[in-house]
Amino acid sequence: MRRKLVAGNWKMQGRQESNAALLQALRLHEAEWAGVDMWVAPPSTYLLQVAEMVRGSAIGVAAQDVSGAGDGARTGEISAGMLVDCGCKAVIVGHSERRTFGLELDGVVAEKFAKAQEAGLVPILCVGETLAEREAGVTASVVQRQLDAVLQLTGVRALAQAVVAYEPVWAIGTGRTATPEQAQEVHALLRACVAREDAAVASGLRILYGGSVKAANAPALFAMADIDGALVGGASLDAGEFVAIARAARAAQ
């Protein structure tokens, strides 16, 4: 059985005071979501604060990005080893906002994935199509290409220690969610791609859905066979919403 995971991507939002209030509320309600995994991904400036505040709780800390290089001459970048040193257990790689605004290509994302794993972090690999790609009917080939870039660099066994997030770009921060059926179709396709190379890895792989997940739509998404949780942006900044999403994950487990 795949344990459900809800991961909150705070993006470029938060201050020490609001972070503390949010984490206190998540911890206060821990009994309601116990049994599922909950990770939060604050901006890197707050990783140490968050790691300190979640100590002794079941909340895990993830970073939002990592360098594809090791320690050294990369001004402004943060290495995987530094993230581990700051208390991270996971890191998001290939988020569509990095692919779009940071112009990250598949090969760069794959290098980040590999560097994260080498350091002992769990990469959360984001894949997803734009609206134009969905309308052109190329969703399947886009997400397969994004996944393949990682598989070619690291091999399929690397996915045994990773998480994949299907995030249709048109659903991120737009309030427009993929229907559970649309999401399930892509999740099943991704799992089948992995299964062609290793059935055991595919059946253990957690594939999260991301894109305007809220307490109201989470139960229907989590009811789908291949949806193992959610990567949540906006709603993860609201403790009540995020706890309700985690409760829905627990109920679906």
By annotation, the residues acting in catalysis are: 95, 167
Whose CA is closest to 122, among 5, 244, 246?
A: 5
Q: Which of 162, 233, 239, 242 binds ligand PEP (CB under 6 A)?
A: 233
107 vs 85: CA distance, rounded Å: 26
Whose CA is closest to 67, among 107, 113, 105?
A: 113
Smallest distance from ligand PEP to CB 64, Å: 9
Q: Could you tell me the end-to-end alpha-carbon distance of the chain, in angstroms, rounded to an integer? A: 9
Q: Which of 8, 9, 47, 109 binds ligand PEP (CB under 6 A)?
A: 9
Mark the segment that binds ligand PEP (CB under 6 A) among 72-80, 104-112, 217-225, 233-241: 233-241
42 touches ligand PEP by CB under 6 A: no
Looking at residue 240, its amino acid is G
Mark the segment that binds ligand PEP (CB under 6 A) among 17-25, 55-63, 140-148, 165-173: 165-173
Smallest distance from ligand PEP to CB 77, Å: 21
229 touches ligand PEP by CB under 6 A: no
231 touches ligand PEP by CB under 6 A: yes
Alpha helices (H) along the chain = 16-28, 30-33, 47-54, 80-85, 96-101, 106-118, 131-135, 139-154, 180-197, 199-204, 218-222, 239-252
Total of chain residues touching ligand PEP, rule CB under 6 A:
13
Q: Which of 60, 211, 217, 221 binds ligand PEP (CB under 6 A)?
A: 211
Q: Cα–Cα distances in Å, from 19 out to 3, 61, 97, 244?
A: 26, 13, 22, 18
The site for ligand PEP (CB under 6 A) is made up of: 9, 167, 172-173, 210-213, 231-235
